[in-house]
Amino acid sequence: MTLVLLFPIVATLTGCTSLADVPSTQGAVLPCTSLPTSHEPVDSPLLLECLGGGPQVDLRSIHGPAVVNVWGSWCAECVAEIPIFTSFFQTKDPAVTLFGIDTAEVSQRDGVNFVLTHGITWPQLSDPNSLSKSVAGNGVPVTLFISSDGNVSGIKYGPIKTISELVELSHIYLNK
């Protein structure tokens, strides 16, 4: 009986977590060629690398509807949002593009490892110098909503707390 009572205490002290905390899907570092960009020249481009390699992407040339999750692997609130964005990605309107921007990483490898170990399966841009703050502001997490004309139609500063919140914001800012 003493052993049974000690197990929960030992599990807590050793940092054991439930299986619910472990992503059920292996992440994938994807190319950014699927991002919907305008081919028209932009006055002041904001070029970011694709975490999956390939050509740079001009953030200002992306047209939506799109939801953009700005994150960093070092951000605890960003980690907490991943299951919500995963659910959204699996159930979203097919017309809506989801992608992320990994910002202010010490090493691009940190971002790649984060994507792989947290089950992220949508394209990611890399922004090691935080250039995207001119659009998203300072700090993370931030969620941007880009309308079909390429304008930022809404910004949510701070973490998305539920899938319902993300769906509602998408309806408000993207009419989707």
Which is higher by pLDDT, 129 or 42? 129
Q: Which residue has the tokens 């799109």?
A: 66
Strand pairing report for 47-50 and 66-71: unpaired
pLDDT at 24 over 70: no
What are the domain boundaries of the chain? 23-174
pLDDT, tens digit, for every residue of 98-140? 999 999 999 999 999 999 999 999 999 999 999 999 999 999 9
Q: What is the CATH number of domain 23-174?
A: 3.40.30.10
Rounded to the nearest integer, the mean pLDDT of the chain is: 87
Mean pLDDT check: name the lowest of 11-15, 25-29, 81-85: 11-15
Instruction: Tell me what percent of the residues of the chain surpass a pLDDT of 90.
Output: 78
Tell the burial category of 116 from Cβ atoms under 10 Å away from its Cβ (0-12, 13-18, 19+): middle
Indicate the pTM of the whole model: 0.84
> Which pLDDT band holds residue 167 (cuts at 50, 70, 90)?
very high
Q: Name residues whose C-beta falls within 8 Å of residue 174's C-beta, 6 or more positions apart in sequence.
A: 64, 65, 66, 67, 96, 145, 147, 153, 154
